[in-house]
Structure 1
Amino acid sequence: MPELPEVETVRIGLNQNTLGWQIEDVEVLLARAIAYPEQTQDLINLLIGAEFQEWQRRGKYLIAQLSSGRKLGVHLRMTGSLLWCDRDAPVGKHTRVRMLVKEKVERKKEKGGKELRFDDQRTFGRVWAVPQDRAVESVITGLQKLGLEPFDLEFTPEHLAAKLSRSGRPIKTVLLDQETVAGIGNIYADESLFLSRIYPEMAANSLSFEQVRSLHQGIIRALSDGIAKGGTTFSSFQNIAGIKGNYIDTAWVFRRNGQPCNVCGTAIARIKLGGRSTHFCPKCQAID
């Protein structure tokens, strides 16, 4: 599933390419990809004529501010992609929604026009159109449960310590809870715990404040590195130009089970924790 760095990579690309372009037609190829409104024609009516003004990210959600005062929300889930492409590019078998756009008057006319496509192989991703008179959180209800963004100034070691003190669950499991901190998934939880030298099965409320401070730094570093590398691709993730992310090539532990740790040379181990594969270095992350 795309996590914060992957979704942030998409957001940056959308802001670089789509702003000012006006939606002139929408084609819904899979009705269940639309989470709201219930009727696909209502979504089409809400979007046609609106210009993209700004794309924001909240956790793993993408939210477009439209010129009409409405909003467009997208969650990529496991295999979703937003692709900025020429209209005459072949439509793939996994394309679920097509948003055909027309350019600003001052732009030079591009042959064939452009479109924003939502592709999704596993069909878990969702799209929302939020009317002008509705709060976005009342429509995209998952936003209500999100914790602070990791790059928010209020996301301090003290804030993280307060969150972790409430749970005796394994720290890896708690990091995956979007109410703890928004945007972290399996990849960057493993990487953050390695960078902070914390064993993934330690109880969250057993960490010392120094460990929490180290974890806070590890989270920021892992996510920043992921964004700098354009995200992680090990299955289907790609940016809006269809280019894969390459963080996986420099990952510390994720999907490196059996390979030597880049710090101490010990073989990276993998265990199942909460039904998820968890990667760690038995030496660097040993419990003291």
Structure 2
Amino acid sequence: MTAPVTCTLCPHRCRLAPGETGYCRARTNRKGHVVPSGYGVLASMALDPIEKKPFARFMPGSKILSIGFYGCNMRCPFCQNYTISQTAPNQNTHRISPRDVLAKAAALKESHGNIGVAYTYNEPLINYEYVRDTARLIHRAGMINALVTNGQCADAVASELLPCFDAVNVDLKGFRPEIYSACGGDLKTTQRFIALAAAHCHVEVTTLIVPGLNDDPGDMAKEAAWLAAIDPDLPLHLTRYFPMYRAAKPPTPIAALHTLQDIAKKYLNCVFLGNV
């Protein structure tokens, strides 16, 4: 009988028996190799404003073809996009090859001024082979690659992918290890990813502010100071939480967002509020 193998993509390091799928619902042991369960299976595709990713300081006013898969290697109880990130493939998914994504992106460039492709909506890096293959084609065609990610991946995966990317937005859940434990992730892994990405391309960071979880002013000061040590011009987005998935707390008070913005601005030059 074939022995189990370890998926080395993220900190979970799932030990998978033959045919078994990992914590992310998107990677499977097939004949002794961990591969994407649904290479090229998309759950969503749309032409979005670049600001929606969000990017505030990267090609503002542009539109970008956005694609998303299914599954995620975190379990945030407040997930704002849980209908695809916390599911497996269903009747709403469809398969499209990297070359077909390139063709779609190029056609939208001609008709709607599309600048490239954004890999977003769920956690793209759990499907990193497809992201890599598509991003290389887009890069060679002279178009833009943008990534929206939780940053929960091995350094080797980040180093392979980042040279093809022009912009990355990293979802930083908070600045205490306990916050990441509650969400099924690892803070230091995301910190390393942010630092690696900042050495390659334009980086922005988003923190969804959830009452009682990551709205502590002291934590925000530490987060902003750490980001400023990388680059004080690095944009930080503080976005308003709304009850979704398994979280029933009321929405983030807008006054609390303004307080945290004022704290972050003591360290960073560009701090934006979202969903307000």
Q: Which has the higher helix share?
A: 2
Higher normalized contact order (CA 8 Å, seq sep 6+, divided by chain length): 1
**Fold conserved between structures, TM > 0.5:** no
